[in-house]
Copies of this chain bind each other. A is one copy, B any other.
């Protein structure tokens, strides 16, 4: 997956006059990268301030605390990473199968080039915080709802054009996300892209 820090939506408030140096963006970028590498719980505020090169005062000017920052990372960085690496290529593709193939190949290629697999930023946070924290669960559920909706819309379109056998588009969309998420978990464990390739082979059969 594209490093989360790279995805920078022009979110409301980004260019506020009291943030001329993009401090808030720097903090979000640093937090997204640290959460992705080592997890939310393992990341301390001091480490974050040092990485982002901001003062404690500047940090608390923009965020009420670590949790507020974490929720902003989900809304403004994780959601943008899914949009950029998954949803935009999917929308541009002629069919779901073509889109899924392009996404899996691009991500597998990036993992091979990086020689390190940090996992999917959305799934990493789901696994770490999905049960323990209801606020994170709600924010993450919103990201996954948009992901599933985009896939289900594409699948419905395929079915209407008879390039795909009719079945429940929401269930199939959920399954595609599950297969991708699980393959990314295995890729993280094995530190190689092979699980994504194996998943693409079977998904191709399911979507043909």
Residues of A within 8 A of B (CB): 37-39, 41-42, 116-119, 123-124, 126-128, 130-132, 137, 140-141, 144, 168, 171-172, 174-175, 177-183, 185-186, 188-191, 194-195, 197-199, 201-202, 205-206
A189 / chain B contacts, CB cutoff of 8 Å: 126, 130, 137, 140-141, 144
Main secondary structure of the interface of A (DSSP, over half): helix
Contacts of A174 in B (CB 8 A): 183, 186, 194-195, 198-199
Task: Give bound CA distance, A206 to B137, whole Å.
Answer: 31
Inside 8 A of A190's CB, which chain B residues have their CB?
Answer: 141, 144
CB distance from A161 to the nearest CB of B (A): 21
Instruction: Find out whether the CB atom of B185 lies under 8 angstroms from the CB atom of A171.
Output: no
- State in angstroms the CA–CA spacing of A130 and B119 once bound together: 9
- Shortest A13–chain B CB gap in Å is 27
Q: Within 8 Å CB of A183, what residues of B?
A: 174-175, 178, 182
Once bound together, how far apart are the Cα atoms of A194 and B177, in whole Å?
Answer: 13
Which of chain B's residues have a CB closer than 8 A to the CB of A116?
131
A128-B39, A131-B37, A132-B42 as given contacts; A179 in contact with B186, CB under 8 Å? no
Q: What are 5 A-to-B residue pairs whose CB atoms are below 8 Å? A: A39-B132, A130-B189, A168-B198, A172-B198, A181-B182
A155 to B194, CA, bound (A): 19
Find A178's partner among B38, B141, B186 (CB 8 Å cutoff): B186
* Shortest Cβ gap from A190 to chain B (Å): 7
A127:B131 contact, CB within 8 angstroms? no
Q: Is the CB of B177 within 8 A of A126?
A: no
Q: How far, in whole Å, are A177 and B189 apart by their CA atoms in the complex? A: 12
> Are A131 and B117 in touch, CB under 8 angstroms?
yes
